[in-house]
Amino acid sequence: MAATGPRNAPGNLDRAEKLAITYLRRHPQDSTSWEMWSEVLRTREQPADEERILRRGVDFTGAPRLRFRLAQILASSGDLEEALAVLDAFTKEHLTTLQPGPAEVGIVSVEG
């Protein structure tokens, strides 16, 4: 069950959701706002809506945190195959950018 308290009071969750939506209308590449909206939906225990928002966030930003949370939701719902595909897509997409080439590591020839 979701945590309750002043931070998670319905009015605060509504305000947080409205803030995220308003900001995303102008800045759809802002992964933090997608993550905040996802957290609101998670706190409300709305996994289907959270999954939908995370998919949109991944489409707009490709953010690893959003992709990882989406994979968690898919895995917890029993869709292990799609969860793995979400993570594999990230790995394939970013693996080449994570492996430095000679320019990135500053290789300098030294004559001895």
How do residues 39-54 score in pLDDT, each as one tens digit?
999 999 999 999 999 9
User: What was the pLDDT predicted at 7?
Assistant: 59
Residue 94 has pLDDT above 90, yes or no: no
Class of domain 6-105: mainly alpha
The rounded distance, in Å, linking the Cα atoms of 73 and 67 is: 10
Distance of CA 82 to the CA centre of its chain: 16
- Residue 68 tokens read as 């990882």
CB 58 within 8 A of CB 70: yes
User: Which helix (H) or strand (E) is 52 found in, with range?
Assistant: helix 47-61
CB-based burial label for 48 (10 Å; 0-12, 13-18, 19+): exposed
pLDDT in tens, 2-36: 555 555 666 889 999 999 999 999 999 999 999 99
Contact 83, 75 (CB under 8 A): yes
Domain ranges of the chain: 6-105
pTM, 2 dp: 0.72
